[in-house]
Structure 1
């Protein structure tokens, strides 16, 4: 999995900013765009914690573009933070009374306004593949989520790690090329709910 930002970071380290920057942009241009935004998300729970929480998602996060493998030697491109945000928000809403998005964990005013007991900071990695030599959409997709959880004083209290896996075959994804990724995101959102509920410090 490669991100556009990783490409430029590598370029800065090696001194070949122009060459690697152009190569990275061309790589993205040659990849097929897909959406992995979930359609089925965790439902609002009946046994909610009365606490309010926040999650960190900046505009820069939403613009992070990832590139990973598809089938037939092709690649796919997508925006995992932007696409996962609906699943993340629904997962938190299924556990807590209220959920607010903030751009940074250092934005004290926003956190104070949100009255957040916990702050969830997601980090996403992905993988995708397909054994097909004839079709480009991925048939296997992995969505790996690491979440740092801070308390109201922005001190770390937990680190959650969950993953989601999705598969799809041609008969399923011929009208929804990101289906395997969408299923992986939905799986990860459900796993996040379970992980939060298992953690006594987050009740």
Structure 2
């Protein structure tokens, strides 16, 4: 028996496969590093841009504050009041103007509605909603008085329309209770 020859194993294919895997992993790492660098550069650019905008706005704000202080001093000299009083007065006037713009009914108009019903209608409650509606809960002695009240109400300039009316007669007392919803507008607008 002669020495047996052992078959040779070709490791070249395994080595080539291992080299290919190393190249792929190196490419993946390089791509990840490049993406990270691009993202960091973009974030830095955005941060720098935002920082420049903030600085510009701060400078503009300082200039405006100086102008406000100068105007407050001029107003204080002209009216003999302090800076704090000028600021408070300005903010109160602005708030009052805003509230007057937003109101849907003038208090005098609500008094006028009440006066229309005297002495025939007894108003129990008036509720005003922000959309310009007013709900009136009241009662009267007869249907004719209710109709007369509605006619007077429709003739008022500030009443746009009567949206809903529901009434119910109390058989025991003979009174008619009703709920009325109207829309209106502030006089002078």
Q: Say whether the fold is shared (TM-score over 0.5).
A: no
Give the TM-score taking structure 2 as reference length: 0.25
Looking at secondary structure, tell me which structure has more strand per residue. Answer: 1
